[in-house]
Structure 1
Amino acid sequence: MSIKMMHHVCIQTEKYTESLDFYTRILGFEVISETPNFHNRDFNTWLKLGEFMIELQTPKQGDTLNKWSNLNEGIVHMCFLVDNVEEEYDRIKSLGYNSFKIKNGKVVYDVEGEKLMKIKAPEGTEIEMRDTDI
């Protein structure tokens, strides 16, 4: 097989400033490059965490993006493995971020004996965090 690894996910957003803050300050990604006026877009920015990257971009001028829905076909969420989900929840909440998905009245909940939580990024991307590998 010639595929070596997953390189990046591209996320478009009409809430660029809020999304950039979320991925850098809340999730800890580093800005690798930020290019203004990129092919009819206000910004195209590369973010990196470990070996994984996100290409964060604004829509092309004049375009209006469709809002995220879990009824969309294709990728529904992305997941990050953390050391401890409860501690990660406390850390993120202490930074003032509080857009968490609630299930059965809980932010951190069990799925088949494993703890996880989901966060909604400013542009609508659903992000799962778990502390157990599959």
Structure 2
Amino acid sequence: MLQAVHHIAIICSDYPESKRFYTEILGLRIIREVYREERNSYKLDLALGDTYVIELFSFPNPPERPSYPEAAGLRHLAFSVDDVEKEVDRLRSMGVKTEPVRIDPFTERAFTFFQDPDGLPIELYEEEVFA
């Protein structure tokens, strides 16, 4: 039986830029960073709070993955926040372009999208309490 999402793996094209984005802009904490010489690849384990969230990989010349128009496969990565508008202001102050904040017609919660350095869609979704 599934218990939880263990991690999400992301392959980036510019490791230093993606490392900066996920740690300095999004604020994820580095758990460990390993250089795998045989693969000419970094693996960076990142956490959000006390939860292990993202494995960031670098590989030489990874192929691009289409995102737009809506391609088959994983659609986006979503993070919950207490206040979408406040987080949008913080991201914009750091040079991150975000879409306009919208309201989910089913949950009436605010959300928006922006992109990581490789164009991966990332969503911010105002925290919803599930019963």
* TM-score category (smaller protein): 0.7 to 0.9
Of residues 109-118 and 48-57 in structure 1, the stretch that sits farther from structure 2 once superposed is 109-118
Pairing 1:116–2:115 present = no
- TM-score w.r.t. the length of structure 1 is 0.82
- 2:8 and 2:37 map into 1 onto residues whose CA distance is 18
Cα deviation 1:99-121 (Å, max 9, x = unaligned):
32x3xxxx212231331111100
Q: Superposed, which structure 2 residues align to 1:1-134 within 5 Å?
A: 1=1, 3-50=2-49, 51-59=51-59, 61=60, 63-70=61-68, 71-94=70-93, 96-100=94-98, 102=99, 107-112=100-105, 113-133=108-128
Is the 8 Å Cα contact of residues 12 and 118 (structure 2) preserved in structure 1? Answer: yes
CA 53–39 in structure 1, closer or farther in 2 if over 3 Å, else same: farther
Q: Measure how far apart 1:124 and its partner are.
A: 1.7
Alpha-carbon distance between aligned partners in 1 of 2:44 and 2:118, rounded to the nearest angstrom: 15
Structure 1: unaligned runs, 5 residues or longer: none
User: Matched residues in 1 for 2:123 and 2:115: separation?
Assistant: 9
* Equivalent position amino acid for 1:99 in 2: K
Shift of residue 39 of structure 1? 4.3
List, as ranges, runs of 4+ consecutive aligned residues in structure 1 with deviation greater than 6 Å. none
TM-score (norm 2): 0.84
Secondary structure at 1:53 match in 2: strand
Number of aligned residue pairs: 125
Amino acid at match of 2:124: M
Computed over aligned residues only, the root mean square deviation of the Cα atoms, in angstroms, reads 1.8
Q: 3-state DSSP class of the match of 2:77? A: strand
> Partner of 1:23: helix, strand, or coil?
helix
Distance in 2 (CA, whole Å) between partners of 1:38 and 1:57 is 13
The percent identity for this pair of structures is: 30
1:78-123 alpha-carbon deviations (Å, 9 max, x no partner): 11110100001111122x22232x3xxxx21223133111110002
Q: Is the 8 A contact 1:68 1:125 kept in 2?
A: no
1:41 partner letter = N
